[in-house]
């Protein structure tokens, strides 16, 4: 069983839609949950991270962690064409390395 599973998409939505991006994981020891955004031919950019369970909001972005279900989500409200990118989830168990999902490619159509 893979440590982190992420649907690669692609996901295509109209401008203004609410987008839901998700990852599932297998190891309950993961404590930190990150979301990165990667534009084409660029390096990943840290959007936000969450420690343990709960929600975290930053502008139009909300990260949600459900440790009981081993499920993490990133919601994008009022999506914009500039949100078109690949979104990567990443997890870690404390001082160890990051484990990345393979990324979901999102296109927001004007």
| Binding interface with other proteins (CB under 8 A) | 32, 34, 36, 41-46, 49, 51, 88, 90, 92, 95-98, 100-103
Min CB(110)–other proteins separation in Å: 27
Residue 46 CB, shortest distance to other proteins, in Å, is 6
107 to each of 20, 44, 61, how far by Cα in Å? Answer: 13, 17, 16
Q: Give 21 or 79: the residue with its C-beta nearer to other proteins.
A: 21
Residue 84 has phi, psi (to 5 degrees) of -65, 115
Nearest to 109 by CA among 73, 82, 87: 82
Integer Cα distance of 39 and 8 in angstroms = 15
Nearest approach, Cβ of residue 55 and other proteins (Å): 17
CB of 60 to other proteins, least distance (A): 21
> Judged by CB, which is closer to other proteins: 79, or 89?
89
Paired tokens of 58: 């930053």
Could you identify the residue written with the tokens 């390395």? Answer: 97
Comparing CB distances to other proteins, the nearer of 101 and 108 is: 101
């Amino acid at each position: 069983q893979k440590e982190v599973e992420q649907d690669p998409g692609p996901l295509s939505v109209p401008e203004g839609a609410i987008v839901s991006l998700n990852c599932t994981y297998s190891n309950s020891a993961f404590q930190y949950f990150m979301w990165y955004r990667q534009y084409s031919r660029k390096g990943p950019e840290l959007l936000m991270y969450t420690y343990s369970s709960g929600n975290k909001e930053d502008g139009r972005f909300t990260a949600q962690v459900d440790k009981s279900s081993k499920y993490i989500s990133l919601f994008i409200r009022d999506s914009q064409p500039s949100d078109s990118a690949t979104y990567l989830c990443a997890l870690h168990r404390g001082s160890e390395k990051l484990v990345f999902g393979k990324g979901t490619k999102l296109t927001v159509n004007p």
